Amino acid sequence: MAEKNPEKGYIALLGWAMGAIEAAERFDRRYVVVAPEWAEDYCKEHDIPFVSWNFERLNDRSLEIAEKLKDMGVDAAVPLFEEVVEWAGAINSVLMDNPRLHGQAVLFRDKALMKRRAQLGGIRVGIFEEAHERDDVYRFFKRVNQTLLKLDGDTEDPIHLKAFDKAGCLGHRMIKSAEEIEQIPDAEYPLLMESHLDGWEFAVEAWVWNGKIQFLNISEYVTLGYSVFVPATPELESWRNLITQQIELLIKTFDIKFGQIHPEYFVTSDGTMYFGEVAYRPPGFKAFELIERAYGFNAYQASMLVFDPKTTQEEVDAFFPEEVTGAKGYAGCFGVYPRKRVVSKLEIPEEVSEHEYFDFHELNAPVQETVTKRNAFGTHWGLVFFFGDNPHKLRDLLKHQEELDYYV
């Protein structure tokens, strides 16, 4: 464990992520893990500072945990996954005596409110509406295609359906025909409907301190829900100045003074930027681990740094490397989902295991033989990691993984 600096902030990590806990152990900030009671025995066994709390739907008891942490001397709460973002906002509003932080967190959690706030700030978004029942989806699908002047016999433009409050790809469906609307379970309503945006989709991980970007990474999607790598290719990086301007507008619109944000955008061939959504927590697909592999700094520690109100500008400047040129290589991962409907074993393809860019994998043997149909973006059985010095070679390698069988 690293020596802790009592002059610096005391950080509460909300939720459970071993990567974050291990990073906190090696960092100079005091910390405490706030997680459900099932984590208590593990924390006691490994001398991890721990407060038990079950993160159910936000309610009057949120003040109880906020006041408990305040009495302990905690300075900031850092959310580790989507479901605790609103909790972090509520707790930080008490710890930092700033009621607006809770309202801000609500915007990050509710995708419909988020899009409306973005529009009010002059950020370009696609068409969106809320659906409370199946007929709403039919009407939206029809209206979008009428707006695009589609005629009978033309290929219809798809729409996207997303859960209001789930992370990233979870609960995300692309609807390409009216027939597919019937397959949406009633339990998924209400949901958000969005028009399809053509363009290059990418994500950003930005660390904000004192209202300004301290480090900005561009993550390039190879195939949404399957593969991503960092830093991006020179072609996508050529839009960095425009992307930075858009993130600065986002920070201003959502009044973000500190923290780590994970927005997604589309850029068209003429440089038009469309806002997808923004999260106020670590991204999925092990993006923090990819950033550390590429740049060498720990992204969880970076988040603790920018959440800490006792951090100095000198610390921030010393912590982050140069963007793009500070990377020692390109790191990417692929989310494996079986291509066969019946499988019996895990078998890493020889061309993968012997490839110079292959790093490691986190795949396990199948626990069942029958493979259910992949019903949402981002669903996978585990990740395979790659690292190399050529972004185009890595991109093509990640794309090629879609043709391989890891489970046979």
pLDDT digits (tens, 9 = 90+) for 198-224: 888 999 999 999 999 999 999 999 998
31 burial level (CB within 10 Å; 0-12, 13-18, 19+): buried
Confidence category of residue 166, pLDDT binned at 50, 70, 90: low
- Whether cis (ω within 30° of 0) applies to the bond prior to 99 is no
Confidence category of residue 155, pLDDT binned at 50, 70, 90: confident
Q: In what order do the strands lie in the sheet with 159-162?
A: 128-131, 191-195, 159-162, 173-175
Confidence category of residue 196, pLDDT binned at 50, 70, 90: confident
Q: Provide the pairing of β-strand 128-131 with 191-195.
A: antiparallel
Q: In what order do the strands lie in the sheet with 76-79?
A: 50-52, 30-35, 10-14, 76-79
Return d(Cα 278, Cα 212) in angstroms, integer: 16
Residue 236's pLDDT is 96
Residue 150's pLDDT is 75
Could you please state the CATH topology (level 3) that the domain comprising 128-195 is classified under: Dna Ligase; domain 1 (3.30.1490)
Return d(Cα 157, Cα 147) in angstroms, integer: 10
Range list of β-strands (E), 89-146 = 128-131
Could you please state the CATH topology (level 3) that the domain comprising 199-328 is classified under: D-amino Acid Aminotransferase; Chain A, domain 1 (3.30.470)
Residue 30's pLDDT is 98
Return d(Cα 124, Cα 122) in angstroms, integer: 6
Residue 19's pLDDT is 97
| 3-class secondary structure, 289 | helix
Asked if pLDDT for residue 187 goes beyond 70, the answer is yes
The closest of 48, 82, 47, 77 to 62, measured between CA atoms, is 77
Question: Which residue has tokens 């370009």?
Answer: 124
Residue 387's pLDDT is 98
Residue 317's pLDDT is 98
Mean confidence (pLDDT) of the chain: 93
Q: Per residue in 230-248, pLDDT tens? A: 999 999 999 999 999 999 9
Instruction: Output the CA–CA distances (angstroms, integers) from residue 34 to 62, 80, 142, 299, in the order listed.
Output: 13, 10, 46, 19
Residue 378's pLDDT is 61
Ranking 4-18, 183-197, 323-337 by mean pLDDT, the lowest is: 183-197
Return d(Cα 28, Cα 2) in angstroms, integer: 6
Domain coordinates of the chain in residue numbers?
A: 10-108, 128-195, 199-328, 331-403
Return d(Cα 124, Cα 172) in angstroms, integer: 21
- Per cent of the chain over pLDDT 90 is 77
Residue 268's pLDDT is 86
Q: Residues 288, 226: contact at Cβ < 8 Å?
A: no
| 3-class secondary structure, 78 | strand
- The torsion of the CA quartet 163, 85, 17, 35, rounded to 10 degrees, works out to -110
CATH topology agreement for domains 128-195 and 199-328: no
Q: Residues 14, 80: contact at Cβ < 8 Å?
A: yes
Return d(Cα 18, Cα 146) in angstroms, integer: 49
**pTM: predicted TM-score of the whole model, two decimal places:** 0.90
- Per cent of the chain over pLDDT 70 is 96
Averaged pLDDT for residues 372-401 = 90
Confidence category of residue 375, pLDDT binned at 50, 70, 90: low
Residue 170's pLDDT is 59
Confidence category of residue 169, pLDDT binned at 50, 70, 90: low
Question: Which residue has tokens 């990819």?
Answer: 290
Q: Per residue in 297-349, pLDDT tens? A: 999 999 999 999 999 999 999 999 999 999 999 999 999 999 999 999 999 99
Return d(Cα 40, Cα 150) in angstroms, integer: 57
**Max Cα–Cα distance, the chain, nearest Å:** 69
Q: Per residue in 77-135, pLDDT tens? A: 999 999 999 999 999 999 999 999 999 999 999 989 999 999 999 999 988 899 999 99
Q: Return the top range by mean pLDDT from 57-61, 127-131, 284-288.
A: 284-288
Averaged pLDDT for residues 377-382 = 80
Could you please state the CATH topology (level 3) that the domain comprising 10-108 is classified under: Rossmann fold (3.40.50)
Averaged pLDDT for residues 366-381 = 80
Instruction: Output the CA–CA distances (angstroms, integers) from residue 249 to 207, 219, 252, 266, in the order listed.
Output: 15, 19, 5, 15
Confidence category of residue 178, pLDDT binned at 50, 70, 90: confident
Averaged pLDDT for residues 159-187 = 81
The dihedrals phi and psi of 232, each to the nearest 5 degrees, come to: -80, 170
Question: Which residue has tokens 């068209």?
Answer: 268
Helices (H) and strands (E) in the chain, counts: 15, 16
